[in-house]
A = this chain, B = another copy of it.
Amino acid sequence: MTDPWATSEIAGPVVTGADLHLEVRGPGLRAGLMDALREAVRTGRLAPGTRLPSSRSLAGDLGIARNTVADAYAELVAEGWLTAQQGSGTRVAPRAAPRRPAPPSRAPAGRRTPVGGADPASAGRPLAAPAGGPAPAPAGRRPGRVRPGPVHTLHPGTPDLGSFPRADWLKAARRALSAAPNEAFGYGDPLGRIELRTVLAEYLARARGVYAHPGRIVICSGFVHGLMLMGRVLRERRVHEVAVESYGLDVHWNLLTEAGLRTPALPLDEHGTRTDRLGREGAVLITPAHQFPIGGALPPRRRAAAVDWARGAGGLILEDDYDGEFRYDRQPVGALQGLDPERVVYLGTSSKSLTPGLRLAWMVLPEDLVPEVLAAKGAVDWASSALDQLTLAEFISSGAYDRHVRGMRLRYRRRRDQLVAALAERAPDVRVSGIAAGLHAVLELPPGTEQSVVQAAAWQGLALQGLDRFRHPSVRRGRDALVVGYGTPTDSAWAGALDALCRVLP
């Protein structure tokens, strides 16, 4: 096995930042620095055992934040390129240089010019982060394997991570921690902290029309955790099928499949998901406020059809309200749950409105489901940090959450308007839809071009996802389109990402 710790005794040469001749600039500084260091090791410019400059010194030489360097070092240690041990500094790992011929070199991720050596196969890889989805696992990373780091990402499903309200969050954390009773630091109530459930009940009723009280709210670690719990509950209830939508996330379908449930897809027409076609399924998973990824709101008669079915057939509706806070041109569509709180499981999350890094989401349950969900959750609340729950409760009750959502709504709307304007000018043949709400839009492409546009974009350092990636396996291929997450770039990266998008469109 590779043992990066075994090298502390190597007395290799020491280099300074200037010796490295790195070219690091533009967005994605850390990724760029990492690529540059990998490149230097791969080509032998940095020999095994070489001691690298301290992060402080290299940061000074490069004129970037020390933290960026320290992060890059740490990640490269994790990947096995470098080793670190107290007193001995950071060194190039002994076996970091590949024995096989080096792969084609490529530019640091910080550059924007197309490069011949980038790996186009990665462009369409299913791991590319979906909404509610994962970053690719780094477990398989080994020296010698090169993962392309895109310059710009317009994947849907992630909010602008640069907008996390750090100062306001810290203020809330300070107040929450000062006020917390001692028992808050103990093993938690599996429902979640009462403080958070109490403010959520008020917030969800006000902002989303959800019928909620704290006793029927269960805090979970993200939507996926909630869906996992529901899968277990449905299986215990001897449900065999959960209907899903024609387009959605395979992560969600797979979770239900793993729980032993079949996931037939409901048809989709120009009005949205055909909830009037629900039959003997035991439950249905839908995104009524904003279909993911198509983008429309489920019309009233289709909402009513879902509820009628649930009542008549004894079925359950799982309402995925992932971005209900973000509406632009009209009144928000209230949650379906209000129509029949005993037939609808409402699932909301802080992942789009605040940050996926919190891992905090919530379910509002029909009353008779509460004991079953708690049983599925297990007797121990191993799920959610009490400290974060208390902080989020304070963040919401102080009004900071509303302010943040209002601010982000303006910001995302501005981006959406810029996207629409740029397309009208530079790609007039591309039709945009799904723009009334949320953090993404659907760009319809000429037939047969979806895959080539996604690949061409990847070669130019722009990560895009085609609509086909979200298609249920049982559904026939539909229109060629892109699902563009305009919420994802940071403010400083947005203009460049939009420009890159326009350049790859037909």
Contacts and interface: CB of A to CB of B under 8 A. Distances in A.
Interface of A: 1-2, 4-5, 30, 67-68, 71, 74-75, 77-80, 84, 86, 127, 129, 132-135, 137-140, 158, 161-162, 164, 166, 169-170, 173-174, 177-191, 194-195, 197-198, 202, 211, 213-215, 221-222, 224-225, 228, 251, 255, 342, 355-360, 367-368, 370-371, 374, 378-388, 490
B135 A188 contact: yes
A384 B370 CA distance: 23
Contacts of A368: 1
A367 B1 contact: yes
B198 A74 contact: yes
Given A164-B185, A221-B221, A251-B380, A387 B191 contact: no
B135 A189 contact: yes
B67 A181 contact: yes
A140 B132 CA distance: 32
A359 B382 contact: yes
A387 B392 CA distance: 12
A134 B182 contact: no
A210 to B, nearest CB: 11
Nearest to A193: B357
B140 A198 contact: no
Nearest to A142: B215
Given A134-B380, A185-B164, A359-B385, A374 B74 contact: no
A190 B134 contact: yes
A5 B387 CA distance: 28
Nearest to A75: B194
Given A139-B374, A181-B30, A132 B380 contact: yes
A379 B137 contact: yes
Nearest to A83: B213
B187 A177 contact: no
A222 B380 contact: yes
A-B complex: 9 closest residue pairs judged by Cβ atoms: A357-B386, A185-B355, A222-B382, A185-B357, A161-B185, A78-B214, A161-B182, A134-B379, A225-B382
A158 B224 CA distance: 29
- Number of copies of this chain that the complex holds: 2
A67 B393 CA distance: 14
Contacts of A195: 71, 74
B187 A134 contact: yes
A65 to B, nearest CB: 8
Contacts of A170: 170, 173-174, 177
A474 B435 CA distance: 63
B187 A133 contact: yes
A321 B367 CA distance: 39
Contacts of A187: 129, 133-135, 158, 356-357
A357 B213 contact: no
Contacts of A378: 224, 255
A138 B191 contact: yes
B358 A387 contact: yes
A139 B370 CA distance: 7
A342 B215 CA distance: 46
20 contacts: A1-B367, A1-B368, A67-B179, A67-B181, A71-B194, A129-B187, A133-B379, A134-B187, A134-B381, A135-B186, A166-B177, A169-B387, A170-B170, A221-B221, A222-B382, A228-B382, A357-B387, A358-B385, A385-B385, A385-B388
A228 B382 CA distance: 10
A231 to B, nearest CB: 12
Contact of A183 (B86, B161, B379): B161
B213 A77 contact: yes
A97 to B, nearest CB: 18
A54 to B, nearest CB: 15
Contacts of A356: 185-188
A204 to B, nearest CB: 12
A155 B367 CA distance: 32
A80 B215 contact: yes
A55 to B, nearest CB: 12
Contacts of A358: 385-387
A95 to B, nearest CB: 14
B214 A186 contact: no
A331 B496 CA distance: 59
A255 B251 CA distance: 25
B213 A382 contact: no
Most B C-beta atoms less than 10 A away, residue of A67, A133, A198, A360: A198
B177 A490 contact: no
Contacts of A225: 382
Nearest to A135: B187
A389 to B, nearest CB: 9
A425 B191 CA distance: 44
